[in-house]
Amino acid sequence: MRYRGMRSDPSPERGEAVPDDKLEVSRRGFLQGAGGAAAGALLIQPDAAAAPKARKSGEQSVTLMVNGESRDVSLEARTTLLDALRIRLEDPLTGTKLVCDRGTCGACTVLLDGDPVCSCLVLAVDAVGHEVTTVEGLAPEGEMNAVQRAMCKHDGMMCGFCTPGITVTLTAFMEAQPAATREEVQAALSGNYCRCGTYPHVFDAALEAGRELQEGK
């Protein structure tokens, strides 16, 4: 898994109260989204034209491109992309999971310009001017992609908490290398931990998705 950007202090926003209606997650929606990662610290500079405007409160207003949509969000410079997605957006995207918050588990994986990154290690302001794709963005019209379909077919989840990150990682990897071997899939997923141990099913799903992608499905 590649990691873009590092930070050493946990965001204080974790302690903020979040309205219940912002945290409500439909299990069905999550599973549909989930049904259905990358090295070297690379700090992404915001585009000058898209530079955030400073606000008196200490927050700044930035525009993130998420799942093909332009999303305005007010946040502090230290806010991670993960927190921006899950907490700061007006319509939060909670498919991306917070687990370790330190780049070790891969549950927070999103695509940044098509590359898997741990969103807990990326500052939201560094994502300005770049395309962010979350697990919700893998099936924008409700039609699952090859990896999502294969994950469902092969029962590639138990609790499902790792599933969004695994699905995002696998989508990027299998679309780039549909003929990947089981060993290559295992290596690609080395940054995504599944505490329930569904790995054999996930590897089977990856190989099936690869076959589908090679057939143009």
Footprint of ligand FES (CB under 6 A): 98-101, 103-108, 118, 120, 157-163, 194-196, 198
74: left (phi over 0), alpha (psi -120 to 50) or beta: beta
Nearer to ligand FES by Cβ, of 36 and 178: the residue is 36
Kindly state the smallest distance separating residue 56's Cβ from ligand FES, in Å: 31
Q: How far apart are CA 191 and CA 3, in angstroms?
A: 10
Kindly state the smallest distance separating residue 178's Cβ from ligand FES, in Å: 23
If 0-12 CB within 10 Å is exposed, 13-18 middle and 19+ buried, where does residue 80 land?
buried
Kindly state the smallest distance separating residue 14's Cβ from ligand FES, in Å: 12
Structure tokens at 210: 């690869």
Nearer to ligand FES by Cβ, of 60 and 96: the residue is 96
Nearer to ligand FES by Cβ, of 136 and 178: the residue is 136
Nearer to ligand FES by Cβ, of 62 and 120: the residue is 120
Q: How far apart are CA 74 and CA 50, in angstroms?
A: 14
Kindly state the smallest distance separating residue 183's Cβ from ligand FES, in Å: 20
Structure tokens at 208: 């099936």
| CA distances from residue 88 to 78, 80, 114, 177 in whole angstroms, order as listed | 13, 10, 22, 34
Nearer to ligand FES by Cβ, of 104 and 177: the residue is 104
CB atoms within 10 A of CB 181: 11
Of the candidates 78, 149, 67, 135, the one whose C-alpha atom is nearest the C-alpha of residue 106 is: 135
Nearer to ligand FES by Cβ, of 120 and 125: the residue is 120
Kindly state the smallest distance separating residue 131's Cβ from ligand FES, in Å: 19
Kindly state the smallest distance separating residue 215's Cβ from ligand FES, in Å: 28
Q: How far apart are CA 202 and CA 182, in angstroms?
A: 10
